[in-house]
Chains A and B, each alone.
Chain A
Amino acid sequence: MPDSAAEAAIDRGLVSRALLGNDRRAFENLVRRHQGMVRAQLRRLLRSDHAAADDLAQETFLLAWRKLDQFRGEARFATWLYRIAYSCFLQAIRKRPAATDAASDLDDHDLAAPDRAMDLELDLARAMQALSESEQAVLLHCVQLGLSHEETAYVLAMPLGTVKTHARRGKEKLKSHLAAWEDAPHEERS
């Protein structure tokens, strides 16, 4: 990650401009700087439902605009956005659990395609789906989005100890799911 302290300082400056001068261009700059990772986070959480992820990302930035005066700089601006995005995601899945199940079924169907079963990334995706929702969320934020355990605890509103436990258990489960692949990496399945 490029000099994160400097990035955080730029974000704080933009937030100040957006708040004090009611500067929409400063906020637009913030959106441009962070939309990529927020949308990536939501696409992962929504299992590649890009349209729904983009709707939630838009909702996230509108909420961020409304609540900008509540950003006190205790966390990085990106972490603060991830937290808003995660809470939007939780509200969305509470509203429509059936749609989420349907998306999971589609994913399972895709992953079950026999000619792609040997692909390590698909095996990893399948192994990820075998984890609990909390373990998946913790690994997404800790490993894939590169947040610290403390930042992940802040985003997911979980105690730090729980985050560490989920991260450890999640990795252990992934390791055991992928053990067969590792034992016989060149084995062909038809």
Chain B
Amino acid sequence: MNHDEDRIDELLRRSFEGPVADDGFAGRVMLAVPGRRRRVAWPTLVGVAAGIAVTWASLATSLSPSLSSQQWFGGGASFVIVGMAGAAVLSLLACWWGLSEGSRQ
């Protein structure tokens, strides 16, 4: 059985022509290769800073952190806390989806 398999392998290897000669192929590819755009960091940094600022502003005006913590430690699951927990879960899901899509492409 092994001997037969070796013979088949040998036949297949012999029938394979092997690597193709370049004949200008690499040069043609390099002519078609586009220049690489440098990734700029500032839009990401501006986005993160804006996100933090907006979150801080909305928490400071509409949802009082001290009120939430009082309710949390008082044992009551208020609408505010449930809403924040829900938003956190959704953010984590969106983050996971973004990362998996990014790595697939």
Q: Report A's interface with B, CB cutoff 8 A.
A: 22, 24, 27-28, 31-32, 35-37, 39-40, 43-44, 54, 57-58, 61-62, 65, 70, 120-121, 124-125, 139, 143-145, 171, 174-175, 178
Contacts and interface: CB of A to CB of B under 8 A. Distances in A.
Interface of B is mostly: helix
Interface in B1-34: 4-5, 8-9, 11-22, 25-26, 28-30, 32-34
Interface of B: 4-5, 8-9, 11-22, 25-26, 28-30, 32-34, 36, 38, 103
Contacts of B12: 124, 139, 143-144, 174
A107 to B, nearest CB: 14
Interface of A is mostly: helix
Contacts, number: 81
A55 to B, nearest CB: 11
Nearest to B104: A70
Contacts of B34: 65
A36 B21 contact: yes
